[in-house]
Chain A
Amino acid sequence: MTPGLDPSAMLRVEDLRVSFSTPRGLVRAVRGVDLVLGRAQMHAVVGESGSGKSVSMRALVGLLPRGRTQVSGRALLEGVDLLSLDEDQKVGVRGRSVGMVFQDPLRAMNPTMRVGRQLVEAVSAHGQLGKEALRTRTRELLDMVQVPSSLRVMDMFPYELSGGLRQRVMIATAIAGGARLLIADEPTTALDVSIQAGILDLFKTLQQDTGTSVILITHNISLALDYAEAVSVMYAGKVVETGSRLDLVASVRMPYSRGLLDSVPRGSQARHSRLVTMEGYPPGPTERLEGCSFANRCPWAEDMCRRREPVLGGEGDSLHRWACWKPLADQEVPA
């Protein structure tokens, strides 16, 4: 079976490209993203600022400024191409099929409206329910996100909730319309580590109990490897490596992914020891790129890398794929 044709895939993104016209020129934020997301799977999209991870996932649900944005490619969600939908159809998709969770729930909520009313609004936007049924459904949603009824959050305003509770309410709103796919954009970046674990565990519970698939957008590769079944690493607008958690940890192929892993201090490492770092910075948004976008920072780069752009490929049927002319062998180190 070819990996791209996995029939059980929930979402299949092919050659997604996004560019913005700006006064400084055309910004090609996403330059070809391919992604396969299984059912009830958590797939982490990892990258640094400006790598295109948020833009690509927002493009799927049409949450980018219209007019100046050009989007191309295909994104099949259970067989329906999200990118070919018109605006009205997209409104139907958002919430009903795809739910979004953002980094800052306070900005995503109405500050003057009690939490209960906002939740009810989200529920009734996806179907007519009687007053009693509405109340039961909202209560049920809060149970699903593990907010104890004793906290009486329904009567509170968003500012009265702690960051962790706000994020739970946000998730409740995202699943209110029965969405089977959640796109979570840095959902725990603003939270304490102690709260972060609770939120990520909640995603795992939803995954197991309701078969929800989750795309976790994060800059934190260790977090991704701890929670997600599959990981895609993005650099300069492209997916440069994708595979299971095990693929990435035990046989990472693309030097950039390896660089990200090395940048995080480990417990197994001697204290105060030097971290292996990548020199230089990612290319700017309007830079014309020739060859591999990582070549100028890559210790293994050769002539070929600077001339021709590598495409995502792998061995046999494996879902582990990478875009690199000089993939690392297991345990290879730079000279």
Chain B
Amino acid sequence: MSGSLLEVRDLVQVHRLRGARGGSQTLRAVDGVSFEIGPGESVGLVGESGCGKSSLARALVQLPRPTEGEVRFRDQDLCRLRGGALLRARLGMQMVFQDPHSSVNPRMSVANIVAEPLRLRGGTGRRQVRARVRELLDMVRLPASRYEARRAGELSGGECQRVAVARALAGSPELLICDEAVSALDVSVQAQLLNLFEELRSELGLAYLFISHDLAVVRHMSDRVLFMYLGRICEEIDAGDLDRAPRHPYTAALMSLVPGTQRDRSVMALTGEPPSAASIPAGCRFHTRCWCARDQCATQEPALVATEQGGRVACLFPLAPQPEPVGDPLLSYRPPGP
């Protein structure tokens, strides 16, 4: 599709693990992933730790370069670009990381942190940089006069994350990759940041790849959600269908764990913990933990195919769309908001 902003095709990222006795083992952290993100679209990426979601995010920005596959961003394959051309192309696709304090230099002033990408790009005069920094701080709702001169180390987690967002916005990106960007923050601060992301979305038309282990947050922020299991996408689903019609047993099981969703957790329980990506099970890679696996699942690997709802699912026996779940009457209670 030429209308998409980011088009990822058969992306593979292999990490080499060095064994204790000089031997080495390979680990396919990302094992053939394809998806698209349209302009201004917000896509969620969900999975347990070790499923390869961070490896995928990093492979997109070529840190490190993926082993195989294509990452087409604005119709340029980033995997084939080098040097200055890659740097320029990548300005349009920026990352925000989990721990704000370790992703900015604590000794640098806020103004310098935000100005750095502008200086790297070059061609901007000192006065213009200063004006742009003020504009960027304004975008993340940090009054420039109060924050410009402060050092990152003095800021709270929420303020510091805003600085990291301002820095990411410096290159006027069209896509923001948020890798657990609100996970380390307290809930009240987290809500402020989520609102900021929504505001930026409508003001700047930003597209998002929103990675989080918090399903409630992903459901709120996304148009579409990708579920990843052991390096592959097992389901792609419209966020509106998440509660009603998950087709993959893994999606259903994870959704049953969202607080306030009263599905029968005992039925959908995930047995044990995910196997290591260094020894992926044969057949369907999820069958060892699946609550509705059959014999065939152990031998035959399902392909990712389109669903009637417009998503994709990789399951030999996908679930039928279910009736509206019985929401917890207590938790869905909500006084009318302002």
User: A134 within 8 Å of B by Cβ?
Assistant: no
A219-B187, A272-B198 known; A265-B219 Cβ under 8 A = yes
Do the beta carbons of B273 and A162 come within 8 Å of each other? yes
Do the beta carbons of B257 and A194 come within 8 Å of each other? yes
Do the beta carbons of A263 and B190 come within 8 Å of each other? yes
- Chain A, range 306-335, C-beta contacts under 8 Å to B: 330-334
Residue of B at shortest CB range from A263?
Answer: B191
* Number of residues on chain A facing chain B (CB within 8 A): 47
A48-B186, A278-B188 known; A265-B194 Cβ under 8 A = yes
CA distance A265 to B191 in the complex (A): 8
User: B86 within 8 Å of A by Cβ?
Assistant: no
CA distance A223 to B331 in the complex (A): 11
Do the beta carbons of B330 and A249 come within 8 Å of each other? yes
Residue of B at shortest CB range from A260?
Answer: B187
A222-B260, A267-B243, A269-B334 known; A193-B254 Cβ under 8 A = yes
State which of A259, A263, A271 has its C-beta within 8 Å of the C-beta of B219.
A271
Of the candidates A195, A222, A266, the one having the most CB atoms from chain B within 10 angstroms of its own CB is: A266
Residue of A at shortest CB range from B202?
Answer: A272
Do the beta carbons of A267 and B257 come within 8 Å of each other? no
Cβ contacts under 8 Å, A49 to chain B: 186
B183-227 vs A, CB cutoff 8 Å, 1 = contact: the mask equals 000111111101100100100000000000111110111110000
Do the beta carbons of A267 and B261 come within 8 Å of each other? yes
User: B299 within 8 Å of A by Cβ?
Assistant: no
User: B259 within 8 Å of A by Cβ?
Assistant: yes
CA distance A222 to B330 in the complex (A): 11
Could you say which interface size class chain B belongs to? 35 or more
CB distance from B78 to the nearest CB of A (A): 28
Do the beta carbons of B259 and A225 come within 8 Å of each other? yes
Of the candidates B195, B239, B333, the one having the most CB atoms from chain A within 10 angstroms of its own CB is: B333
CB distance from A269 to the nearest CB of B (A): 7
Do the beta carbons of B217 and A277 come within 8 Å of each other? no
Question: Which residues of A are at the interface with B, using a C-beta cutoff of 8 A?
Answer: 48-49, 162, 164-165, 192-197, 201, 219-223, 225-226, 245-246, 249-250, 259-260, 262-269, 271-278, 281, 330-334
Sampled A-B contacts (24; CB under 8 Å)? A49-B186, A192-B273, A220-B187, A223-B259, A226-B260, A226-B331, A245-B330, A260-B187, A263-B191, A266-B260, A267-B216, A267-B243, A267-B327, A268-B327, A268-B332, A268-B334, A269-B334, A271-B223, A274-B195, A276-B191, A331-B336, A333-B335, A333-B337, A334-B338
Listed from nearest, the 10 A-B pairs whose CB atoms lie closest are: A265-B220, A222-B259, A263-B191, A48-B186, A331-B335, A275-B191, A226-B259, A268-B332, A263-B187, A192-B48
